[in-house]
């Protein structure tokens, strides 16, 4: 049976995969198209279609997740507005770069290698920090819903960057002062990756906002999603102009991710991110290995490697998405037990 | 250009419908579901 030109089994796969990605996206504010785009490439879609459709998917998911985070008061509109300016310029430069490489037949290889390096690098960084935080148990302050941040919770590198007072300076969520140029620089760099790789850029921007600028994690997540609404919308439009957005891919993915994003966003108020962070880091590393295997499969014509790569991406998303849901369910049940043993006033 | 704008509009429309639809669904289902999880 076919719907919108796709087999029903393929639509079911897209809806299920979208759901897993939505849980991750809603919870971490990242992890959307960096999973979707490589998966589409592995499934045999053309690079520009995978990138364009991945970006349209991220745009839709970001709209839904931002509305949810706005309800939780986790969006810094001033910071988000500035991020949009820097990211927009970066996306256009990245997109031009991708088409330049596509014309020379190099897009698939270079996008693949960039994914391997980025996913691997960020994955190692997140995993290392998660392990360190496990030892120090000092990250709880980052989940203050009011956005107030303990100076001890600001990473050292962020403190160093905040010490450069290149005017104009601005105050962001959590009462942190930072140079406008630093904000624009981070936004441009992540926009460049966004346009080049067809990702929302969250898996770079969200850690960058926390580690480089010092924005509290909940506000970094909400503001990042708000920013992705605009950058994703613009990116989708630009790729749409080239005919690289396939609605038969985007619609079922979005249907699944909308439900997942709602559950993931709600889970942020129930689960400590530090509990999940290590899984997320490992998932990024899994994604890196998956893309590397696909590149090897392409280079040496080994079809099995592509299949292993696809399974690895799917299983990584499934494992971390399940960890988020399991932790949320556990938190609900532990709340009940705490309430049961608390003495009545 | 109109086609690209229509594509973006279609995605935005789907996102809006899904947000409202799932929102309405969760307002009906969420509370009983949380209670069920608590009492399992």
Residues of B in contact with A336 (CB under 8 A): 38
Tokens 């608590």 sit on residue = B38
CB contact under 8 A, A60 and B12: yes
Question: How far apart are the C-alpha atoms of A327 and A241, rounded to whole Å?
Answer: 42
**pLDDT above 90 coverage of chain A, percent:** 2
Q: Are A257 and A25 in contact (CB under 8 A)?
A: yes
ipTM score here?
Answer: 0.86
**Chain-centroid distance, C-alpha A216:** 16
Q: What is the DSSP letter of A248?
A: H
Nearest alpha-carbon partner for A224 in A256, A181, A194: A194
Is the model's pLDDT at A253 over the cut of 80? yes
Residue of A236, A255, A336 with shortest CB distance to B38: A336
Whether the pLDDT of residue A138 is over 70: the answer is no
Euclidean distance between the first and final Cα of chain B, in Å? 54
Q: Chain-wide mean pLDDT for chain B?
A: 84
Q: What is d(CA A53, CA A112) in angstroms, rounded to the nearest whole number?
A: 17
Q: Which tokens go with A228?
A: 């992705």
Q: Which residue of A has its CA nearest to B11?
A: A60
pLDDT at B20 over 80: yes
Q: How high does pLDDT run on average in chain A?
A: 78
**Alpha carbons A48 and A308: distance in angstroms, whole number:** 23
Structure tokens belonging to residue A10: 């393929």
Longest CA span, chain A: 73
Average pLDDT over residues A241-258: 89
Instruction: Delimit the domains of chain B by residue range.
Output: 1-40
d(CA A250, CA A266): 24
Query: Which chain B residue is nearest to residue A246, measuring alpha carbons?
Result: B7
Which tokens is A73 given?
A: 């008061």
CB contact under 8 A, B18 and A329: no
Rounded mean pLDDT of A29-56? 79
pLDDT at A100 over 60: yes
Distance from CA of A270 to the nearest CA of B (A): 12
């Amino acid at each position: 049976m076919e719907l919108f030109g796709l087999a029903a089994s393929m639509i079911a796969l897209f809806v299920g995969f979208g759901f897993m990605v939505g849980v991750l996206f809603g919870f971490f504010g990242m992890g959307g198209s960096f999973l979707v785009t490589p998966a589409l490439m592995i499934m045999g879609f053309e690079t520009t279609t995978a990138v364009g459709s991945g970006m349209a998917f991220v745009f839709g998911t970001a709209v839904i997740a931002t509305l949810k985070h706005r309800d939780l008061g986790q969006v810094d509109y001033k910071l988000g507005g500035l991020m949009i300016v820097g990211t927009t310029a970066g996306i256009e430069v990245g997109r031009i770069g991708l088409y330049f490489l596509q014309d020379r037949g190099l897009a698939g290889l270079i996008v693949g290698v960039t994914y391997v390096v980025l996913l691997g690098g960020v994955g190692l960084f997140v995993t290392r920090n998660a392990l360190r935080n496990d030892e120090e148990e000092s990250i709880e302050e980052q989940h203050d819903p009011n956005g107030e941040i303990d100076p001890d919770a600001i990473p050292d590198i962020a403190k160093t960057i905040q010490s450069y007072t290149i005017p104009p300076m601005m105050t962001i969520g959590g009462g942190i002062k930072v140079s406008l140029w630093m904000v624009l620089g981070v936004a441009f760099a992540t926009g460049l990756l966004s346009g080049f790789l067809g990702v929302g850029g969250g898996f770079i921007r969200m850690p960058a906002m926390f580690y480089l600028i010092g924005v509290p994690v909940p506000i970094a997540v909400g503001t990042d999603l708000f920013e992705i609404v605009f950058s994703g919308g613009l990116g989708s439009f630009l790729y749409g102009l080239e005919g690289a957005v396939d609605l038969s891919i985007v619609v079922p993915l979005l249907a699944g991710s909308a439900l997942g994003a709602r559950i993931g966003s709600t889970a942020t108020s129930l689960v400590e991110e530090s509990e999940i962070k290590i899984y997320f880091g490992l998932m990024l590393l899994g994604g890196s290995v998956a893309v590397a295997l696909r590149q090897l499969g392409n280079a040496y014509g080994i079809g099995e490697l592509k299949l292993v790569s696809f399974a690895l991406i799917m299983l990584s998303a499934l494992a971390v998405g399940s960890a988020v849901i399991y932790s949320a369910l556990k938190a609900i049940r532990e709340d009940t037990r705490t309430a049961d043993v608390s003495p009545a006033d | 250009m109109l086609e690209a704008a229509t594509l973006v509009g279609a995605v935005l429309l789907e996102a809006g419908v899904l947000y409202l639809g799932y929102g309405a669904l969760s307002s009906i289902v969420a509370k009983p579901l949380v209670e069920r999880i608590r009492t399992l």
